[in-house]
Amino acid sequence: MLPAVLLIAGNLAACQHRPTIAYPKLPEAGRVEAEFDCARLDDAILKTEAVRWVMREDGARLLSPDERFARTTTDVATSVAASFACLFCVSPMWLGEEGHAALDGADRRLLSLLKLKQDQQCAGRPTALAGMADLQMHDAVALRAERMRLLDKLRP
Amino acid sequence: MSRDRGTWRALLVVLALSACTGHRAVSPVDNGEPTELRLRAGDSIRVVTKQRERMSLRITEIRPTELAGVTVKPAAHEALPKGRDVMVPYADIALVEVRRFSAARTAAGSVLVVLTAAGIALDTMPIMMGP
């Protein structure tokens, strides 16, 4: 019992994501974006980056598969406990996934737009990381943890 | 009769308390008016621009290339004070969220409230033992 309480309390304390606005669906770049010229691609990247910035300001972050599993398990456990306590009660302690899905969608859209820009041989734009342009950032993003850190610096 | 009136009043209160707004947000792909939201004068919206500016406003006019509106009480992370006239070019919009009354959510919320109240009532009802 005590480990379960500590797990729940720990996860509650760690929950940092507080959405302040509804997040839109951000699909990966497709046929519409493939027709964009370099200027429109840069514009689309700016817009997507602004939405991603809102998510990060709200505390959204990428979770590892283990972290996502732990949160889902905690949510199920608290819901079951609440159901036993009160037949029609809904658990108020739904942890969710810290905006992972929305942020992951934004990242994938950004990377797909950068890939299109690379394919069209557009000029790179500076980022907040000295010596790294946006097109180089696309190549550098390999690991999930690195991806969040690098894309936080996309805008100079 | 007075018992029926009391029941209807209670239901109306539940409905009023559970009145819900729906939020829809889009990130426009092109630089024109975000038609999928069917924005109109009087709508309350929140906007994030490409320049990372955030604002809440009530639309006063839908123009060919921009939205005109008046800012309302600023929400979290917003700097513009209430009552300022603003114009937001569609080309600048990175995210727009519109908030409208949702009949579906209100109905669902009312059902949830009634079920929860019924559950609590059942839990607290004294158990009558048979002979």
Looking at residue B15, its pLDDT comes to 53
Q: Round to whole Å and give the CA distance between B117 and B98.
A: 32
| Tokens at B47, concatenated | 């906007």
* DSSP for B79-115, written as a single string: -PPTT-EEEEEGGGEEEEEEEEE-HHHHHHHHHHHHH
* More confident of the two residues A94 and A136: A136
The answer to whether B48 faces chain A, any CB pair under 8 Å, is yes
Q: How far is CA A66 from the centre of its chain?
A: 16
Is the predicted ipTM greater than 0.85, yes or no?
no
Q: Which of B25, B49, B51 sits opposite A24 (nearest CB)?
A: B25
Q: Give the model's confidence band at A13: pLDDT under 50 very low, under 70 low, under 90 confident, else very high.
A: low
For B19-49, how does the pLDDT look when each residue is reduced to its tens digit (9 = 90+)?
A: 566 788 999 988 888 888 899 999 999 999 9
Give the minimum alpha-carbon distance from B1 to chain A in angstroms, rounded to a whole number: 30
A128 and A138 in contact (C-beta within 8 Å)?
Answer: no
HEC sequence for chain A: CHHHHHHHHHHHHHCCCCCCCCCCCCCCCCHHHHCCCHHHHHHHHHHHHHHHHHHHHCCCCCCCHHHHHHHHHHHHHHHHHHHHHCCCCCCCCCCCCCCHHHHHHHHHHHHHHHHHHHHCCCCCCECCCCCCEHHHHHHHCCCHHHHHHHHCCCCC
Specify the amino acid at residue B87.
M
Looking at residue B126, its pLDDT comes to 62
Looking at residue A80, its pLDDT comes to 73
Where do we find the tokens 């199920």? A76
For B67-85, how does the pLDDT look when each residue is reduced to its tens digit (9 = 90+)?
A: 999 999 999 999 999 999 9
DSSP B130: P
- Which residue of A lies nearest to B54 if distances are taken between CA atoms? A54
Give the minimum alpha-carbon distance from A100 to chain B in angstroms, rounded to a whole number: 18
Query: Above 90 in pLDDT, residue A39?
Result: yes
Q: Round to whole Å and give the CA distance between A78 and B12.
A: 32
Q: Give the model's confidence band at A6: pLDDT under 50 very low, under 70 low, under 90 confident, else very high.
A: low
The answer to whether B25 faces chain A, any CB pair under 8 Å, is yes
Partners of residue A56 in chain B, C-beta under 8 Å = none
Which A residues in the span 87-126 are in contact with B, Cβ-Cβ below 8 Å? 87-90
Looking at residue B30, its pLDDT comes to 87
Query: Above 80 in pLDDT, residue A154?
Result: yes
A60-76: b or e for each residue (b if 16 or more CB lie within 10 Å)?
bbbbeeebeebbeebbe
Cβ contact, residue pair B119, A22, below 8 Å: no
Looking at residue A117, its pLDDT comes to 95
* More confident of the two residues B51 and B16: B51
A89 and B123 in contact (C-beta within 8 Å)?
Answer: no
B104 and B112 in contact (C-beta within 8 Å)?
Answer: no
For B92-124, how does the pLDDT look when each residue is reduced to its tens digit (9 = 90+)?
A: 999 999 988 766 666 666 677 677 666 666 666
Q: End-to-end alpha-carbon separation of chain A, Å?
A: 49
The answer to whether B28 faces chain A, any CB pair under 8 Å, is yes
Partners of residue B46 in chain A, C-beta under 8 Å = 21
Handedness of CA B111, B117, B120, B124 (dihedral sign): negative
Is the domain defined by B21-106 classed in CATH 2.30.30? Answer: yes
Q: Round to whole Å and give the CA distance between B27 and B96.
A: 7
Query: Above 60 in pLDDT, residue A9?
Result: no
User: Which residues on neighbouring strands pair with residue B58, listed in sequence order?
Assistant: B44, B70
Q: Give the model's confidence band at B128: pLDDT under 50 very low, under 70 low, under 90 confident, else very high.
A: low
Q: Round to whole Å and give the CA distance between A54 and A52.
A: 5
Q: Give the model's confidence band at B8: pLDDT under 50 very low, under 70 low, under 90 confident, else very high.
A: low
The answer to whether B29 faces chain A, any CB pair under 8 Å, is yes
Domain segments of chain B: what residues?
21-106
Give the residue from B50, B99, B116 with the most A CB atoms within 10 Å of its CB, the best one to mutate. B50
Looking at residue A140, its pLDDT comes to 84
Query: Above 60 in pLDDT, residue A151?
Result: yes
Partners of residue B28 in chain A, C-beta under 8 Å = 47
B60 and B75 in contact (C-beta within 8 Å)?
Answer: no
Give the minimum alpha-carbon distance from B91 to chain A in angstroms, rounded to a whole number: 9
A64 and A144 in contact (C-beta within 8 Å)?
Answer: yes
For A49-99, how does the pLDDT look when each residue is reduced to its tens digit (9 = 90+)?
A: 999 999 999 999 988 888 877 777 777 777 777 666 665 555 555 557 888
Looking at residue B65, its pLDDT comes to 95
How many CB pairs lie under 8 A apart between chains A and B? 69
